[in-house]
């Protein structure tokens, strides 16, 4: 999942810049000294350029798409009851947040669309899951879910605090606790595989 973390890490950096219109203007297109000097006088509440908003929507949507597709793979390949249950929960939960994201985009009034395909790096992560040896699949899936949900949580928390688009900011704030819960569940799966415990039995206790 190294590629996945790099992608989302880059997105976090991009969103931290997009969180302030002034910073976006300064870092985009090698602004001249005159332009930089003019920036402080600009309205700080001015809308961030559409490409930045598009990036936000794309990253949020891609995270959901990755979770849904990874869950489908786990449903087919895993023989572990806890993994299959977790995957089913992830597919259902992220389908819901996908719809919530679309509603947030509509409420924002921005002319944005969500992607219909995963970016190449996330697609390659899915391919890695598909190619994993059967005996290693459950652990690889659990590991990937910890990494993916931690990255998504960092992104959502950052945007909920510093975001500039009200509807997307509300979406991030409402979604972050759900992703935290998913992360806790994923860490439970990972711990079981790392320690060799009976994951199914351990999860059945909760």
User: To which CATH superfamily is domain 2-204 assigned?
Assistant: Ferritin, core subunit, four-helix bundle (1.20.1260.10)
Confidence of residue 109 (pLDDT cuts 50, 70, 90): confident
- Given this model, what pLDDT does residue 9 score? 42
Which ranges of 109-133 does DSSP label H, i.e. alpha helix?
A: 120-131
Segment 28-77, tens digit of pLDDT: 444 443 334 333 343 333 333 333 556 777 888 999 999 999 999 999 99
Structure tokens at 62: 């891609």
Structure tokens at 186: 């994923």
Do 140 and 77 form a contact (C-beta atoms < 8 A)? no
Do 187 and 194 form a contact (C-beta atoms < 8 A)? no
Stretch (H or E) spanning 64? helix 50-77
- The 10 Å Cβ neighbour count of residue 202 is 15
Q: Phi and psi for 41 in degrees, rounded to 5?
A: -80, -10
Do 34 and 90 form a contact (C-beta atoms < 8 A)? no
With 0.85 as the threshold, say if the pTM is over it: no
Question: Is residue 114 pLDDT above 70, yes or no?
Answer: yes
Residues with Cβ within 8 Å of residue 163, at least 6 apart in sequence: 15, 19, 56, 169, 172
- Residue 79 in 3-state DSSP? coil
User: Where in the chain are the domains?
Assistant: 2-204
């Amino acid at each position: 999942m190294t590629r996945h973390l790099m992608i989302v890490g880059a997105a976090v950096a991009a969103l931290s810049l997009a969180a302030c219109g002034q910073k976006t203007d300064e870092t985009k297109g090698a602004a001249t000294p005159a332009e930089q000097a003019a920036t402080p006088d600009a309205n700080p509440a001015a809308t961030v350029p559409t490409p930045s908003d598009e990036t936000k929507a794309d990253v949020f949507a891609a995270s959901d798409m990755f979770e849904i597709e990874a869950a489908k793979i786990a449903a087919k390949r895993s023989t572990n009851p806890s993994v299959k249950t977790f995957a089913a929960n992830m597919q259902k939960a992220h389908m819901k947040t996908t719809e919530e994201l679309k509603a947030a985009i509509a409420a924002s009034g921005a002319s944005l669309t969500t992607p219909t395909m995963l970016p190449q790096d996330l697609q390659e992560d899915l391919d890695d899951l598909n190619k994993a040896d059967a005996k290693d699949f459950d652990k690889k899936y659990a590991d990937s879910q910890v990494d993916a949900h931690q990255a998504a949580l960092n992104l959502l928390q950052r945007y909920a605090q510093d975001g500039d688009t009200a509807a997307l900011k509300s979406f991030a704030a409402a979604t972050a606790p759900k992703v935290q819960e998913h992360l806790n569940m994923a860490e439970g799966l990972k711990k079981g595989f790392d320690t060799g415990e009976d994951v199914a039995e351990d999860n059945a206790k909760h």
